Structure 1
Amino acid sequence: MSDTPKLRIDGREVTFRPGVDLLTACIEAGVMVPHFCWHGALGSVGACRLCAVTVTENGRDRIEMSCMTPATDGMEIKLRDPESEDFRARVIEWLMVNHPHDCAVCEAGGACHLQDMTVATGHHARRARFPKRTHRNQDLGPLLTHEMNRCIACYRCTRFYRGYAGGRDLDVFGAHDNVYFGRAEDGVLESPFAGNLAEVCPTGVFNDKGWSKGYARPWDMMHSPSVCNGCSVGCNLTISERHGRIRRVENRYHGAINGFFLCDRGRFGPLWVESDARLATPLIRGAEVTPNAALAAAREVIAQGAIGIASPRASLEANYALRRLVGAERFFAGVPDAEAAQDAAIVAALASHPIASLKDIETADAALVLGEDLTGHAPRAALALRQTTRAAERALAAEKGVPHWLDNAVRVAGEGRRAAVTLVTPLADALDGVAARALRRDADAVAAFGRAVAAALRGEAAQDDARAVAAELAAAEAPVVIAGAGLGVAGTVEAAAEVVAALPKARLALFPAEANSLGLALMGVAGGLEAAAQARGARPVIALETDLEGTPLAAAQVVALEALATATTAGAQVALPVASFAEAAGTFVNHEGRAQRAFAARPDGPPAAWRVLSALGGLWDADARVDDVLARLAEDLPVLAGAAEAAPGSGTKPCAARAPRRYSGRTADDLAGRVPEGMPPVDPDGGLSWSMEGAQGAAVDPARSSGPAEDGLHSPSAACLAQAYVGGPLKGGDPGVRVIRPGMELARTPDAPAHPAEGLRVIPLHDPFAAHPSDRAGAPLAERAGRPVMRLHPEDAAALGLSEGALATVAGARLPVVCDAGLPRGHVGLPAALSRRVPARIDAAHITPEDVQ
């Protein structure tokens, strides 16, 4: 075999990567072989038989399923051979025998892989005249619809849900041509990744239920690239808008981060922007006023010498504007002092060690997780770690000669082996079932275990389980060590870094609490909420997207800039509505230090927070753009200079269109009996037009979730055409620029506060469906979010005079008590958001029992 293997496709010679299947080789060469069951992340199973091609060998032709055939050097195939064309046409016809042909009323119409492949194979006439097989649909909960009559039995849904995401409540029932994909009985799909079925399914069996109720055709929506702010991972999104309303959120492929999939919090969480919980109008002491009156009142308050409370969920631009307005010495983080110190420690650790992206985690062969509940805290990272656990079975299958792309065969040949993934957590974890080792340690002992592993790697004395973990990590070719802010415990970050320092091949993945925690830490803060309370004196407070309820600053004179109505906006001296992350352009720095740009998803949203702050203090000209703000940021804070390159030239002339070629809004949108014409709105902060004019069909179009809408391909299954290779980076490079670099000069860091030694140790309880109040404000996730509770060991509950189901008040929140014998003694589990408003340890004085009638 030559160094660069080649094959011929319909007479054209192309190169391909060694070790791939023939279908992948064709797609990477730009030839879309019709297919259904194959998926870029799920591999090959040969279920649909649509990818047939003619292979010529020794002068003889034979039909092969390209997804099940290895690509070999010198191979010659014919896609346009009459025999294979006829075979594919017959496959489509039998797959369509029982399909309802209901494209006109199907939500997937216009972005449907079944439509694309049916057209591609030339099938256009129905010959069947007998009654069609029909199924009863199920109620699968608030997130997805279910229309089984559209199913073509490709098995993608169960392969993703069960094999990739680890769900167990969706399965296939029946046999032959009467199979059923659903639950054993009606009920909510339990997996926090179930929403991906709407994109994994090549037909319209599963669809976004909220979008189905407020439906707009895919080609009649504006599609804007954005970045999720549900956690620190920074998954890339496409947010679709129609008539000023955000209708749907889809995955936007990023090779190093989210790949093909999102968690449900990322997919449905942004829809809270359409809820009634929005702060819709400016307020002065709770009364609605005009914007000008509110700005004037806010200026009067700020003139008294305000301090600024920044938000780790707000963009770099908004936080920087606040910093300029109040001054660096009065610029504080809207998080506890301990979290601010921990974020600074994460930056320092990442600047000194190799950083692991989610792609690195997926391809790792061993992992140590210190204290993180990834499924609740950073769900997409948990999905990546599930793929890590399969490394041992993939290695064993490779030893037996099974290609990595034969997914089912790999699972059989791998004999169920699990990679050396060790979880060290105080509570049972959703990943326990797939990890090789799940160790329970109380909250303060997690970091100690990490240090013991590091000691064992250095050849020092350590306990047996630490030595065993050290040996597994040392034997691995690509180990990762994972920690972060999920446990709220000081020391885990430093312990994880210590382990990586002792492992030459290891990478470090650290997950802070919020979408822009690291961006705020790089900016430098004078401390957290406790430090702000001490430094405030009698000064008023400017709170940027931070609810101060239950904090030492709650009684201050507050100017609140918020997108969501909160207790703080209700009691503020002045409350000013600002755009949510989905409505304004902004830059966010994710867990790996990658600065990424999000763009406004609708043209008529509230003003961006940085523009409101500029109006309060005259920071920039009225026509300043995001690029102008970032240019000033780079001058003042060189450590963040790279953020300006996250989307270079975004404020120049439109380079891409938000609307696809088929967009009919300008010509078919009847408003008050007339067809409007004229210039579309102008977006000063993004090189994307609010129309169908602009660059179309580029190799990488950031306004499209599925890559190029070319060659008649419009579904998410076309995403592979935009990739340099299947599952790899985008052809133009993955978005974003890493701003954390080795040897960088770090901003000043606040000191970590001392924790009290007595009381119950607080453990944050993370909900994969609700990390923030905004998640519960949106209709889709409000139904999926778990009930906030307080967890106690039964003996600790008895000592406090509490029993199962009793109500208790902690920091103003009324919570039912759950007695959990799996919780370590001396600990109390509180909802993650609430745990940030109480000390690291609390005692009976913090817990008020209530009588239950």
Structure 2
Amino acid sequence: MPRIHIDHREYDVRPGRNLLETCLSLGFDLPYFCWHPALGSVGACRQCAVKAFANAEDTNGKLVMACMESVADGQRISIRDPQAVEFRENVIGWLMTNHPHDCAVCDEGGSCHLQDMTVMTGHAYRKFRFNKRTYRNQYLGPFLNHEMNRCIQCYRCVRFYKDYAGGHDLDAFASANRVYFGRSDDGVLENEFSGNLAEVCPTGVFTDKTLKQHYTRKWDLTSAPSVCVHCSVGCNTLAGERYGSLRLISNRYNGSVNGYFLCDRGRFGYEFVNVSSRIREPRIPVNTQGESWEEHVHKATEVFRGTRIVGIGSPRASLEANFVLSRIAGRGNFYHGVSSSEFELSKTASQILAKGTVPSLSLKDVEKCDVVVIWGEDVTNTAPMLALAVRQALRNRPMEKSIAANIPPWNDAATRERVQQERGPLVIGSYGTTRLDEVASMTFRASPGALSRVGCAVANQLDDAAPLAGTLDEEEQAVANEIVRVLRSARRPVIISGVSSGSMEVLQSAANMAEAVRRHNADTGLVLTFPACNSLGLALMEGRPFAELLHEEQDRRGTLIILENDLYRHADPRTVQKIVALFDHVIVIDHTWHETARNAQLVLPAGTFAESEGTFVNNEGRAQRYFQVYEPVNGIRESWRWLLTLGNALGVSQKGPWNSHDEIVRALAASADVFEPVMRVAPSANYRIYGQRIPRQPHRYSGRTAMSANRSVSEGKPPEDRDAPLSYTMEGTRLPPPSVAIPFFWWPGWNSVQSVAKYQDEVGGPLRGGDPGIRLLEPTSKAPLYFSVSAQKPPEVIVVPLHHIFGSEELSVLAPAIAERCPKPYLAAGPMTFGMHTADHGAVMRLEIHGRMLTLPVVVDPAMPKGVAGLPVGLPGMEYFELPASASVIMQLQNAE
């Protein structure tokens, strides 16, 4: 381990790192701009200058840029050397010659890295007295605001957008003092991760446009640690509130999951919390009297007492809420609120993760892989951050050449110069075009049956014990042979598949591939995606798909409780209507109005993720806790709290009594071995740091005494959180809390998101005390888990599910910014799917699927194989269809000109 000297003190440091990240990891305040822990070094800003000395006798030294110097044993540097201090102050000085100094009206104010570094360098006076350079700003879409006059030309934006995230429509233009960062023309930034520019940019050039609609300074936000609810990856977020509305979602670093970034759906989909379609008060069918909503509900449900209780759970509700509902309904009366096919797929996926031999990888693990095979899943649209991790994994094999040339991995500029556009192997088997096709070394577009046949053939070539799924044609055999060759060359391969393909055969063939590769390579990993934020958590619970209610023999009258679920998104309308009609009473607990809620007799307003706390299990099998951001108003309650109220009102024992979140968690942990670790996911409500709670509000929080002055001049007592160790005030400990309970990132002198380095063991490493979350599932078998796959001969036309990052997810599509990016319903097909002339772009086709008619315009996807058509899932206005499914072409209504 190298030993270096910094300002005459010795430090043992980790080899292979540069001086800047080493100094930051040791706790030094060394300013920087162009460097980013996820992007590496380019040496563009010159802000991190330090004085380097040849030996102990050298008193002159030389200025070097810390981000471009590798640590070496015996190295001697000085951060406080007067020449280095003056140089860093001068760098700020020349950056400020054209900066508008508009902090008072800048959206970045209070969380600005440029502000922090300006103060850190001691630059307090402006010496430039001439006209400043000005730019014309661009419209960049509904997510980001553009203010180029604040730019300091650090190049972080294009390095993230183009080099890291794979975007194409943001670039650097002009030269010298006129460098411009934007698009060639005004327009929406197309990349799915563009929102990260608001945090990557160290100034206020790119800012959150949704925050601008209800702006609040960072120090005026009440914040809490949360988990993204818009896909199964479970990215960690910080949710901020002001005046009873959710104002901002920002990234919460988790080194094992999302790291420093979020996708745009996760960052901007939060506005569903504030929309007018929220359920704000209980809808009670009879006139009742009571002092609280609980009393109203208790009296309203007296007529329900003594009836059979049936519960339908939800893949977007917490473990705790689903667990309480399952106990109220009782054994045999708890159903999963998903379609029959999704139920079987999710159950099978959970068995693969728990009973196979291949470990489930985190996003951090995926980034370390050198060969990636994606089978049947469009991960950019179903698990966007997984797609971002795949892009990073493709750099690993080419980087071996740069490492062999003695170029350290952190030297981003030199590394990219060495590898150019070279990428590692990425094999994609899909139904049609995907966003990752542009970086794939091989793509295979086929029907579900063909994908399963090839997947099983690959597994069989790697391990004779793996069963085949049918005979391959010449093209399929060539594809299988190439995939086998690529997998045999891998050091750390990963197989990615999931539930969203809709095909059990595709999922099982991917699992077979992973098991077969694992027989040859112990470093093989597997990633399976799920449709919703807690799909895997629900799949780990006992139950049956709710469609089976139609086939029960026992008395089906009674009371149906539907938890956070619009059943019309999981079954065709006729099936839902028949199921609802089976019951005398229907109770819906949810936070947003939908068709299911409108048809219920009793509707109870549930808290969203921002108004409740609970636990989700992500696709990796990692249980993660999210905390309440603010106390809900009116009749809004956490789902599990409403269920406790209902259980008492209906006279149903929950095997309690349970009166708090901690008590429910203890009962959940005792209910099954797989849930036992949930007890350790987060500290209990009684946790204190030297007797103090963890404040949700920064010490600079303002306006507390004035926020309610329109109602009363007396300041009310802050609400008390009996279910978490956090408080709703500024008061509390200022010591770093456990990583799972960090409500915001702030450190003296570091107000921006860059302050996260102060909470890490080392820059880019895990948070102190370990990254949040505990894995519930680990491989338990030593023998491979192989599936016998039956690949059916496809019908003349098979319709497969297609997913959209903006539009397919139920909650985010309610956010205005996301809705603006949502496509209209369509039918995707290859040029020959419906014949030479009927698949013209814009032609309107009428199909019959499962006996139901569907009329949609055709969008031609040249990559789609013959006989395969794609139907977008979950778009507003579209009914549910269980896909893949055969389809009959009824007629062509019109042709595009």
For the superposition of Structure 1 and Structure 2, which TM-score range results when normalised by the shorter chain? Answer: over 0.9
What is the distance in 2 between the residues matched to 1:846 and 1:278?
A: 40
Relative distance call for 1:667 and 1:80 in structure 2 (3 A) is farther
Q: Return the match for 1:607 from 621, 637, 645.
A: 637
What is the distance in 2 between the residues matched to 1:754 and 1:395?
A: 40
Relative distance call for 1:794 and 1:470 in structure 2 (3 A) is closer
Find the counterpart in structure 1 of residue 501 from structure 2.
487
Relative distance call for 1:842 and 1:404 in structure 2 (3 A) is closer
Give the 3-state SS of the residue equivalent to 1:153 in structure 2: coil
Find the counterpart in structure 1 of residue 858 from structure 2.
817
| 2:20 is aligned with 1:23 | yes
AA matched with 1:434: V
AA matched with 2:359: P
Find the counterpart in structure 2 of residue 626 from structure 1.
661
What is the distance in 2 between the residues matched to 1:597 and 1:813?
A: 41
Asked whether the 8 Å contact 2:739–2:767 carries over to 1, the reply is no
Find the counterpart in structure 2 of residue 430 from structure 1.
435
Alignment of 1:354-433 (within 5 A): 354-433=359-438
Residue 505 of structure 1: how far off its partner (Å): 1.7
Give the 3-state SS of the residue equivalent to 2:609 in structure 1: coil
Relative distance call for 1:699 and 1:583 in structure 2 (3 A) is closer
Find the counterpart in structure 2 of residue 121 from structure 1.
121
Residue 826 of structure 1: how far off its partner (Å): 2.8
Asked whether the 8 Å contact 2:454–2:479 carries over to 1, the reply is no
What is the distance in 1 between the residues matched to 2:884 and 2:712?
A: 64
Alignment of 1:71-220 (within 5 A): 71-220=71-220
Relative distance call for 1:270 and 1:328 in structure 2 (3 A) is farther
Relative distance call for 1:312 and 1:846 in structure 2 (3 A) is farther
Q: Which runs of 5+ in 2 are unaligned?
A: 783-787
What is the distance in 2 between the residues matched to 1:225 and 1:145?
A: 26
Per-residue CA distance 1:775-823 (angstroms, 9 max, x = gap): 2211121111222322234554469988734275876886433243432
Bigger mean CA offset, 42-51 vs 719-728 = 719-728
Asked whether the 8 Å contact 2:445–2:864 carries over to 1, the reply is no
Residue 844 of structure 1: how far off its partner (Å): 5.3
Find the counterpart in structure 1 of residue 785 from structure 2.
none
What is the distance in 2 between the residues matched to 1:245 and 1:723?
A: 30
Asked whether the 8 Å contact 2:2–2:71 carries over to 1, the reply is no
Q: Which runs of 5+ in 1 are unaligned?
A: 746-750
Give the 3-state SS of the residue equivalent to 2:508 in structure 1: helix
Residue 836 of structure 1: how far off its partner (Å): 9.2
| 2:713 is aligned with 1:641 | no
Find the counterpart in structure 2 of residue 513 from structure 1.
531
Asked whether the 8 Å contact 1:281–1:576 carries over to 2, the reply is yes
Asked whether the 8 Å contact 1:36–1:50 carries over to 2, the reply is yes
What is the distance in 2 between the residues matched to 1:367 and 1:397?
A: 21
AA matched with 1:684: R
Alignment of 1:249-268 (within 5 A): 249-268=249-268
Find the counterpart in structure 2 of residue 748 from structure 1.
none
Find the counterpart in structure 2 of residue 765 from structure 1.
802
Q: Return the match for 2:346 from 343, 347, 361.
A: 343
AA matched with 1:531: E
Q: Return the match for 1:571 from 561, 582, 599.
A: 599
Relative distance call for 1:796 and 1:436 in structure 2 (3 A) is closer
Relative distance call for 1:456 and 1:591 in structure 2 (3 A) is same
AA matched with 2:248: R
What is the distance in 1 between the residues matched to 2:106 and 2:645?
A: 47
What is the distance in 1 between the residues matched to 2:686 and 2:273?
A: 25
Find the counterpart in structure 2 of residue 693 from structure 1.
731
| 2:775 is aligned with 1:738 | yes
What is the distance in 2 between the residues matched to 1:847 and 1:324?
A: 48
Per-residue CA distance 1:550-575 (angstroms, 9 max, x = gap): 35133314321111110111122222
Asked whether the 8 Å contact 2:51–2:63 carries over to 1, the reply is yes
What is the distance in 1 between the residues matched to 2:497 and 2:388?
A: 16
What is the distance in 1 between the residues matched to 2:149 and 2:854?
A: 46
Find the counterpart in structure 2 of residue 522 from structure 1.
540
Relative distance call for 1:451 and 1:249 in structure 2 (3 A) is same
| 2:721 is aligned with 1:716 | no
Bigger mean CA offset, 490-499 vs 461-470 = 461-470
Bigger mean CA offset, 155-164 vs 653-662 = 653-662
What is the distance in 2 between the residues matched to 1:157 and 1:399?
A: 29
AA matched with 1:772: E
What is the distance in 1 between the residues matched to 2:136 and 2:738?
A: 40
Asked whether the 8 Å contact 1:366–1:478 carries over to 2, the reply is yes
Bigger mean CA offset, 415-424 vs 35-44 = 415-424
What is the distance in 2 between the residues matched to 1:270 and 1:826?
A: 39
What is the distance in 2 between the residues matched to 1:651 and 1:571?
A: 41
| 2:654 is aligned with 1:616 | no
Asked whether the 8 Å contact 1:393–1:416 carries over to 2, the reply is no
What is the distance in 2 between the residues matched to 1:847 and 1:286?
A: 48
Residue 210 of structure 1: how far off its partner (Å): 1.4
Q: Return the match for 2:47 from 24, 29, 50.
A: 50
Find the counterpart in structure 1 of residue 618 from structure 2.
590
Bigger mean CA offset, 61-70 vs 503-512 = 503-512
Give the 3-state SS of the residue equivalent to 2:821 in structure 1: coil
Find the counterpart in structure 2 of residue 832 from structure 1.
873
Relative distance call for 1:591 and 1:434 in structure 2 (3 A) is same
AA matched with 1:816: P
Relative distance call for 1:399 and 1:538 in structure 2 (3 A) is same
Relative distance call for 1:141 and 1:411 in structure 2 (3 A) is same
Residue 66 of structure 1: how far off its partner (Å): 0.4
Relative distance call for 1:279 and 1:412 in structure 2 (3 A) is same
Find the counterpart in structure 2 of residue 282 from structure 1.
282
Residue 679 of structure 1: how far off its partner (Å): 2.9
Find the counterpart in structure 2 of residue 269 from structure 1.
269
AA matched with 2:218: P
Find the counterpart in structure 2 of residue 554 from structure 1.
577
Relative distance call for 1:153 and 1:757 in structure 2 (3 A) is closer
What is the distance in 2 between the residues matched to 1:99 and 1:200?
A: 18
AA matched with 1:305: R
Relative distance call for 1:498 and 1:613 in structure 2 (3 A) is same
Asked whether the 8 Å contact 1:272–1:777 carries over to 2, the reply is yes
AA matched with 2:182: G
Aligned-residue RMSD, C-alpha:
2.9
Bigger mean CA offset, 489-498 vs 300-309 = 300-309
Give the 3-state SS of the residue equivalent to 1:203 in structure 2: coil
TM-score (norm 1): 0.93
Per-residue CA distance 1:340-372 (angstroms, 9 max, x = gap): 111111111112221210001111111111111
Relative distance call for 1:757 and 1:91 in structure 2 (3 A) is closer
AA matched with 2:539: A
Relative distance call for 1:450 and 1:376 in structure 2 (3 A) is same
AA matched with 1:524: E
What is the distance in 1 between the residues matched to 2:679 and 2:621?
A: 14
Relative distance call for 1:468 and 1:706 in structure 2 (3 A) is farther
Asked whether the 8 Å contact 1:192–1:769 carries over to 2, the reply is no
Per-residue CA distance 1:199-243 (angstroms, 9 max, x = gap): 000011111111112111110111111001111100000000011
Asked whether the 8 Å contact 2:219–2:697 carries over to 1, the reply is yes
Residue 281 of structure 1: how far off its partner (Å): 2.8
Give the 3-state SS of the residue equivalent to 2:22 in structure 1: helix
Give the 3-state SS of the residue equivalent to 1:833 in structure 2: coil
TM-score (norm 2): 0.89
Give the 3-state SS of the residue equivalent to 2:212 in structure 1: helix
Find the counterpart in structure 1 of residue 455 from structure 2.
450
Give the 3-state SS of the residue equivalent to 1:308 in structure 2: strand
